[in-house]
Structure 1
């Protein structure tokens, strides 16, 4: 795989940047208040690596269980996607690769959004 995003170091950088962004994001920061930030970073790194066929195992819950009772809306997912795109741009991930990555995660929206 040619893109840095598909290597463990690239995935780790993007996941770390994403967590930093969402904790500061006015639209979605409240959703993550009280969450264990180290655990969130670890699980996002695992999930990204697993979903992108990077040879990692994902030890977290299903999206439905992990997001239960958070009251997530479509706009919340949209804000998260925008932050993820910004993290990928910062790491100079090609636009095509960004879209490929986001397409792999798009089906999770149905499991996470409650209203």
Structure 2
């Protein structure tokens, strides 16, 4: 049931229209940032997340060759900014950073599932998880670079 709810939230949020700059709607306060444990909590979350990404057979091949510390640092910065924290995400836009990575919808959904496991392990409330997922979901358009309908057998 939890997975269905999260998928519905992702689908609904993914259908939202982004602003012309591609910026995501950011909370007006820092409640979400605090719910994730502020900076230290986000660092801990991303450490757990990266460990799980590397060991999951669906996501490991995408993350093993990456600069894992850089990815974690960028994710901390991004989650901090999206959650209303004091950070400003200064990394590359999602389209640019994922353009050459051959990520399909299944890969994306596997990553979201692994993120949910990490958030559960860190004791982040389900409602707060959904708030963050809703902020992240519109990025799927720029992260998914391989569309199954275009693949040839």
**Do the two structures share a fold, i.e. TM-score over 0.5?**
yes
Alignment of 1:13-28 (within 5 A): 13-28=44-59
2:114 corresponds to = 83
- Determine if contact 1:14/1:87 at 8 Å carries over to the other structure: yes
In the TM superposition, residue 35 of structure 1 has moved relative to its aligned partner by 0.9
Alpha-carbon separation, structure 1, partners of 2:67 and 2:48: 16
Partner of 1:36: 67
Q: CA deviation at 1:27?
A: 0.5
Aligned-pair CA distance for 1:59? 2.2
Match of 1:98 in 2: 129
Residues of 1 paired with 2:93 and 2:116: CA distance? 23
**Which consecutive residues of structure 2, in runs of 5 or more, have no partner in the other structure?**
1-30, 148-153
Q: Deviations over 1:50-93 (max 9, x none)?
A: 11111102121000001012111111111111111111111111
Q: Distance in 2 between matches of 1:96 and 1:43?
A: 24
- For 1:33 and 1:18, locate their aligned partners in 2 and report how far apart those are by CA, in whole Å: 13
| Runs of 4+ displaced beyond 3 Å | none
Unaligned stretches of 5+ residues in structure 1: none
Q: Which has the larger radius of gyration?
A: 2
Q: Is the 8 A contact 2:35 2:128 kept in 1?
A: no
